[in-house]
A = this chain, B = another copy of it.
Amino acid sequence: MTASPSAAATPVRSRLLVQKFGGTSVADVERINAAADRVASALADGDRVVVVVSAMAGETDRLEQLGLEIAGRPPPREMDMLLAAGEQASIALIAMALMERGCAARSWLGSQVPIRTDAQHTRARIEHVDVEGLRADVEAGVTPVVAGFQGVNASGDVTTFGRGGSDTTAVAVAAALEADECQIFTDVAGVYTADPRIVKDARLLEAITFEEMLELASLGAKVLHSRSLEFVGKYNVPLRVLSSFSNAGPGTLITTEEQAMEQPLVSGLTFTRNAAKLTLVAVPDMPGVASRILGPIAQAAIEVDMIVQNIAADGHADLTFTVRREDYKDAHKLLAHAAQELGAGGIAGDETIVKVSAVGVGMRSHAGVATRMFDALAAENINIQMISTSEIKISVVVAERYLELAMRAIHQAFGLSEAPREET
């Protein structure tokens, strides 16, 4: 048989999508069926789909709790073996739900794909995704359902990627397959200019850059696993965050800075409540002091976020830094020791602070952003306790009681509730 030339005119291109469903999107039988409906609908539209699934919501916690009850510090290899059981159940259930809808499907464990990782249990990094099997499935009209969060190391041991690691799986699989789009289904409609629970007129963003998402994610706006964004940046995977509810909109597209249509001064705001501040008062101002203060803190694996040092005229300095609130007491003890050694004036601390940040790639090319933010806070009589800035981010520390007011004031100052327009 030969194909008729006219039939081969303009073939409609079928997109290859990676669709990732998180724990809340496969939380129970009803949500699993809804997720399968979304996949089936994309297939009915002529797209080809590779599905990536997390464990059912609560399952990873349940398993982890069992491990913690049995061993104070569960050995990481066994913790990975334990936790990876969660996705094994959900991939089978999603594959069943797809087949129930007449869509050929097959579940894939991380070790079956295989998704090869390094040997760092509980926070392994993906080294290589072997997509031949997945591609063969797709070409045969079978929808592969891949376990998120898990891979296999060179010894054949099961590894996991840390909480939220299913996003990383999705992006890595999309990158390896050179998929047209990686769609992250979640329980929110997309990425907002600010947390809508804090700022009522927060607006859903149509698009945001990777760099901005990375800052927002690392600052606590946990829509996506930070590491997945590194992958996105590295492999240039078109990524979309959208709601798993069937009537939801197109969500938020994560673009590269080059692709971005607009570059607003500020794209979004974020905050972290989980902060505490410590100040070592009147430290003799001499070289090496900061490292003698912060060295023991770092050795105790306490993460230090912002650091500010003010030098007074009398040859003494105040060193202030922030830590996670749960590390406050430990850090305070270590600081007391350093204060004695250095002959410092004393220690001040505050466990009731928050950090508020504005993020936007437009900051790179525009001055005056920080001033506008500080003015907005001043107009509300909110005292700024610390400031830290990076290329696309400005963060301030304020008293916790001002959190909502500060967020609203900054949100309004940058006109974030209105549709974006390019500032010149």
Q: Taking beta carbons and an 8 Å cutoff, which residues of A are in contact with B?
A: 29, 32-33, 63, 66-67, 69-72, 74-75, 77-79, 81-82, 84-86, 88-89, 91-93, 95-97, 99-100, 106-107, 109, 111-112, 156, 158
Contacts and interface: CB of A to CB of B under 8 A. Distances in A.
Specify the main secondary structure of chain A where it touches its partner: helix
B82 A85 contact: no
A107 B82 CA distance: 10
A78 B92 contact: yes
A253 B208 CA distance: 69
Contacts of A89: 63, 66, 82, 85
A32 B70 contact: yes
Given A92-B67, A112-B156, A100 B85 contact: no
A136 to B, nearest CB: 12
A106 B77 contact: yes
A27 to B, nearest CB: 12
A29, A66, A100, A158 interface centre (most CB from chain B within 10 Å): A66
B112 A97 contact: no
User: Across chains A and B, which 6 residue pairs bring their CB atoms closest together, nearest first?
Assistant: A82-B92, A81-B92, A85-B88, A71-B96, A85-B89, A85-B85
Nearest to A152: B112
13 contacts: A29-B66, A32-B70, A63-B89, A70-B97, A71-B99, A71-B100, A75-B95, A79-B92, A81-B109, A82-B88, A82-B92, A85-B89, A112-B156
